[in-house]
């Protein structure tokens, strides 16, 4: 807990994770301000409406703020590259510039493990450096650039004077009740029979239950106050630390929602090739929704990505409180499931 209530700006609080972070801050007694283009829906928070790309709006939002948790981003599998850059890089720069002018002490950059995923498996690795040149897709590339920009502005870095202390956290595959990015898409596609397993579905992946993600972000914020020289200028991957196969994860989500888990398979190489073709077609004639497959998505569903959490838990003094199985039980309750099949763990595939 803070010695006194802090005033914290949370960007992107209308999303699942941003809202969870803002509510957790309110619950512990901090004064919370949010910045996003639509109402946050967070009781007890003061909303500022607008974009992180608007310098005037950002300046107004940051007046009198002690700390920033920056989650706002353009998140999509497809879209105009210039829009990704404007929000994920330009918006981060605008916030950092204003934070320096306003004397903000702490800045948590919420990033993504995709900033260091280059297409091959990530097996028990720590937070390797963000790579804007080789990350896969416009989202990952611009998030990588935004992370490097933020860490480069850490006020404790050699050659810099003042400015906020900065830490980057990379929550991995955040999910939970109300999630529209992962859970609802999995459930919708499974219900329509359009959710295949790529290869054997045996790639091990880490995930992160939403409450754990919010707790980890608050831990990073607090460690910037209590141990700035330990975490300042560094990046950490946040996960539950419970790798499961893609088949197990998808099956667990589907069972919790009461839909049939995926049973048909597509060769991983074919999915990657098809994803590249879909991306090309989407650039010429975008669809109304996300593309059904992209090369990045095919790689994410067919390669292992699980992470060494020892430095994360040691440096942030944090550990997840909600297990994957407990998260699935909560998800089943959200969908109205009460039977043993809905609440139990996933079948082996």
By CB atoms closer than 10 A (0-12, 13-18, 19+), residue 232 is buried
- State the average pLDDT for the chain: 86
Q: Give the pLDDT score at 280.
A: 59
Q: Give the pLDDT score at 197.
A: 74
Higher pLDDT, 71 or 190: 71
Q: Give the pLDDT score at 190.
A: 86
Quickly state the pLDDT bin for 274 (edges 50, 70, 90): low
∠ Cα 303 307 308 (to 5°): 150
* The pLDDT of residue 349 is above 60: no
Helix axes 55-62, 92-102, angle to 10 degrees: 40
- Sign of the four-CA dihedral 317, 319, 320, 324: positive
* The pLDDT of residue 161 is above 80: no
Of 7-21, 63-77, 272-286, which one has max mean pLDDT?
7-21
* The pLDDT of residue 114 is above 80: yes
In sequence order, which ranges of 127-264 are alpha helices (DSSP H)?
Answer: 138-152, 183-191, 210-226, 228-231, 246-257
Is residue 279 in some structural domain? no
* The pLDDT of residue 278 is above 90: no
CA 220/CA 213 separation, integer angstroms: 11
Higher pLDDT, 156 or 86: 86
Quickly state the pLDDT bin for 186 (edges 50, 70, 90): confident
Is residue 86 in some structural domain? yes
Whether the CB-CB separation of 38 and 32 falls below 8 Å is answered with no
Is residue 184 in some structural domain? no
* The pLDDT of residue 20 is above 90: yes
Is residue 169 in some structural domain? yes
CA 120/CA 137 separation, integer angstroms: 14
Quickly state the pLDDT bin for 263 (edges 50, 70, 90): confident
Q: Give the pLDDT score at 292.
A: 59
Work out the percent of the chain whose per-residue pLDDT is above 70. Answer: 82
Summarize the confidence of residues 218-238 as an average pLDDT: 97
Is residue 273 in some structural domain? no
Place of tokens 């239950």: 209
Is residue 58 in some structural domain? yes
Q: Give the pLDDT score at 54.
A: 95
Q: Give the pLDDT score at 167.
A: 98
Q: Give the pLDDT score at 347.
A: 29
CATH code of the domain in which 165 resides: 3.40.50.720
pLDDT digits (tens, 9 = 90+) for 33-74: 999 999 999 999 999 999 999 999 999 999 999 999 999 998
Whether the CB-CB separation of 276 and 296 falls below 8 Å is answered with no
pLDDT digits (tens, 9 = 90+) for 323-346: 999 999 999 999 986 433 333 333
Is residue 338 in some structural domain? no
State the DSSP code for 119: S
Give the residue numbers marked as catalytic: 139
Indicate the SS3 state at residue 253.
Answer: helix
Is residue 148 in some structural domain? yes
Summarize the confidence of residues 129-156 as an average pLDDT: 92
Quickly state the pLDDT bin for 3 (edges 50, 70, 90): low
Which residue range forms the structural domain that includes residue 100?
A: 7-176+208-240+305-321
**Helix %, strand %, coil % of the chain (to 5):** 45, 15, 40
CA 45/CA 229 separation, integer angstroms: 30
By DSSP bridging, strand 204-205 and strand 244-245 are antiparallel
By DSSP bridging, strand 244-245 and strand 106-110 are unpaired
* The pLDDT of residue 1 is above 80: no
Q: Give the pLDDT score at 102.
A: 93
Summarize the confidence of residues 288-310 as an average pLDDT: 70
Q: Give the pLDDT score at 345.
A: 34
Summarize the confidence of residues 169-192 as an average pLDDT: 89
Least confident of 3-7, 197-201, 222-226: 197-201
∠ Cα 79 184 265 (to 5°): 85
Q: What are the strands, taking DSSP E only, across the chain?
A: 7-11, 31-36, 45-49, 67-70, 106-110, 122-125, 165-171, 174-175, 197-198, 204-205, 208-209, 235-238, 244-245, 265-266, 305-307
Domain count, the chain: 1
Higher pLDDT, 190 or 162: 190
């Amino acid at each position: 807990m803070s010695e006194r209530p802090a005033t914290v700006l949370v960007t992107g609080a209308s999303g699942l994770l941003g809202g969870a972070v803002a509510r957790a801050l309110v619950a512990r007694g901090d004064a919370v301000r949010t910045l996003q283009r639509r109402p946050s829906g967070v009781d007890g928070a003061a909303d500022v409406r607008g974009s992180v790309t608007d310098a005037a709006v950002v300046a107004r939002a940051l007046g009198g703020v002690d700390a920033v948790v920056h989650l706002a981003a353009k998140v999509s599998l497809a879209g105009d590259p210039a829009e990704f850059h404007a929000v994920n890089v330009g918006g981060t720069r605008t916030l950092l510039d204003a934070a320096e002018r306003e004397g903000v002490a702490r800045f948590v950059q919420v990033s993504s493990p995709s900033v260091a995923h280059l297409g091959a498996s990530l097996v028990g690795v720590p937070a390797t450096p963000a790579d804007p040149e080789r990350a896969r897709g416009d989202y990952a590339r611009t998030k990588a650039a935004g992370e490097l920009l933020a860490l480069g502005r850490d006020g404790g870095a050699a050659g810099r004077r003042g400015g906020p202390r900065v830490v980057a956290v990379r929550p991995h595959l955040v999910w939970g009740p109300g999630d529209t990015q992962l859970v609802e898409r999995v459930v919708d596609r499974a219900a329509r029979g359009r959710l295949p397993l790529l290869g054997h579905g045996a790639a091990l992946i880490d995930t992160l239950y939403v409450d754990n993600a919010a707790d980890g972000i608050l831990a990073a914020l607090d460690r910037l106050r209590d141990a700035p020289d330990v975490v300042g200028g560094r990046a950490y991957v946040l996960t539950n630390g419970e790798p499961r196969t893609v088949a197990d994860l998808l099956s667990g989500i589907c069972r919790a929602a009461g839909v049939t888990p995926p049973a048909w398979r597509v060769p991983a190489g074919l999915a990657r090739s098809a994803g590249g073709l879909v991306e090309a077609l989407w650039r010429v004639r975008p669809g109304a929704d996300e593309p059904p497959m992209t090369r990045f998505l095919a790689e994410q569903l067919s390669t292992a990505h699980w992470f060494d959490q020892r430095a994360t838990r040691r440096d942030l003094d944090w550990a997840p409180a909600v297990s994957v199985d407990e998260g699935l039980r909560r998800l089943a309750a959200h969908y109205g499931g009460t039977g043993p099949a809905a609440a139990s763990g996933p079948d082996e595939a």
